[in-house]
Structure 1
Amino acid sequence: MSLADRLPHADTDPRRHGLVEDAFALATGTLLVALGFHMFKLAGLATGGTAGVAFLIHYATGLPLSAVFFVANLPFYVFAWMALGRTFTLRTFLAVAILSVETALLPRVVTISAVDPVYAAVMGGLQIGVGMLVLFRHKASLGGFGVMALWLQETRGWRAGTVQMALDAVVVAAALWVLDPMRIALSILGVVALNLVLAINHRPGRYSGF
């Protein structure tokens, strides 16, 4: 039995989110993350997780960020299905698909002529963190390392933000082969901002909605 199957399913449970609430959360969370990605891309920064891997491949090859991000998450769905259940996996797949489309379309509707790299790192990281927090609280994620972080929080009590930060550090370190030291430093700043949002706001037992 998966972790998701152990949760109560009574329609009268006040903690349970409705369909409209979940749909709104997917739209809100992915839009916030997409805007954060957009700011990172404009400033030439990277981030952690599979998104960070996608950024590095994008910078190194010129392949579309949205397509690379979608493909990079595919291997994690099997683990998510086995560890966190069907509902979580389907919501995560939907969130990644929506975010990939939004990432491709956002430059067409949002034009930013210039952005300070420090501001992009901090604000972009905060936006991505808040977006991920919204998704986490509706039993979804952006796949990749986020799935592992949530599984470790559910099974071991480890804070998802702390786990995510450790995994993100590995990805950002790999950016040394693609970005200059200043961009690396700012990328680390963005990762710290992102994970502080999760570490402070997403502790085991603090939020009971599902």
Structure 2
Amino acid sequence: MTEAAKQKSPIGLWSSSSEKHSLVEDVQGIVAGSMLAALGVTMLASAHLLIGGTAGLGFLLRYSVDVSFGTAFFVLNLPFYWLAYKRLGLAFTLKTFSAVALTSFLTGVLPKLIGIDHIDPIAAALFGGLLIGCGMLILFRHRASLGGFGILALYLQDRLSWRAGFVQLGLDCLVLILSFFVASPFVIACSVLAAVTLNLTLAINHRTDRYIVR
């Protein structure tokens, strides 16, 4: 790597290069990605929609039993950290744990800060799915994820070059099938729209051959 490629500052925490994010950049990316994802989740919840992945399972538990989404989402992700550590490394695991914990916390706080009295389910699906997708995109680019199926999707993309968005879309469909037990066909249709919006955002914008920063 040439000196021109390095972008150093007097403070080591800011040191970065064209191939590696600095610590400060990673922290900012994890916080920003978690904020966008939590806002997207809040929009979906306001319209009583669901989504795929462990977030979808969290919604199913929220609508079925007396448990908050944040608590369900955090607990459901715990089994996936071992796979993350074994396959994707300690740094990825710690970043992902931080993103999941922050997103879980924010989903409990945001409804107290942002009141959404009415939102059209289709609008919630489009904007909520896009926000979560953009949040996950930021996290992916900082070698983190929102856990669960996202870890598996990233692993398969790294090992088999399968698009993370398409892998997660398939897994999301399995979760949405379970939604028939707790939601109406229209809500499920809007939830599918949210999942498609989210995963197309990832599939189109996240490619390892175009973005290689670690």
Q: Same fold (TM over 0.5)?
A: yes
> Is the 8 Å Cα contact of residues 33 and 99 (structure 1) preserved in structure 2?
yes
How far off its partner does 1:33 sit?
Answer: 0.4
Q: 1:169 maps to what in 2? A: 173
| Alpha-carbon distance in structure 2 between the residues aligned to 1:121 and 1:47 | 9
Letter in 1 for 2:149: F
> Is the 8 Å Cα contact of residues 50 and 73 (structure 1) preserved in structure 2?
yes
How far off its partner does 1:43 sit?
Answer: 0.3
Flag the structure with larger Rg.
2
Within a 5 Å distance, the mapping from 1:13-162 to structure 2 comes to: 13-162=17-166
How far off its partner does 1:12 sit?
Answer: 6.5
User: Which deviates more, 11-20 or 51-60?
Assistant: 11-20
User: Which deviates more, 12-21 or 48-57?
Assistant: 12-21
How far off its partner does 1:204 sit?
Answer: 2.9
Q: 1:204 maps to what in 2? A: 208
Segments of 5+ residues of structure 1 without an aligned counterpart are 1-10
Segments of 5+ residues of structure 2 without an aligned counterpart are 1-14
| Alpha-carbon distance in structure 2 between the residues aligned to 1:187 and 1:117 | 9
1:191 paired residue among 182, 189, 195: 195
Letter in 1 for 2:125: A
Give the TM-score, by structure 2 length. 0.92
User: 1:170-199 CA distances to partner (integer Å, 9 max, x unpaired)?
Assistant: 001110011110000000000000001000
> Is the 8 Å Cα contact of residues 164 and 203 (structure 2) preserved in structure 1?
yes
How far off its partner does 1:203 sit?
Answer: 1.7
Q: Any runs of at least 4 consecutive aligned residues in structure 1 with deviations exceeding 4 A, and if so which?
A: none
> Is the 8 Å Cα contact of residues 164 and 195 (structure 1) preserved in structure 2?
yes
Q: Percent identity?
A: 50
How far off its partner does 1:13 sit?
Answer: 3.9
How far off its partner does 1:62 sit?
Answer: 2.6
> Is the 8 Å Cα contact of residues 159 and 204 (structure 1) preserved in structure 2?
no
Q: How many residues align?
A: 200
Cα root mean square deviation, aligned: 0.9
| 3-state SS in 1 of match to 2:212 | coil
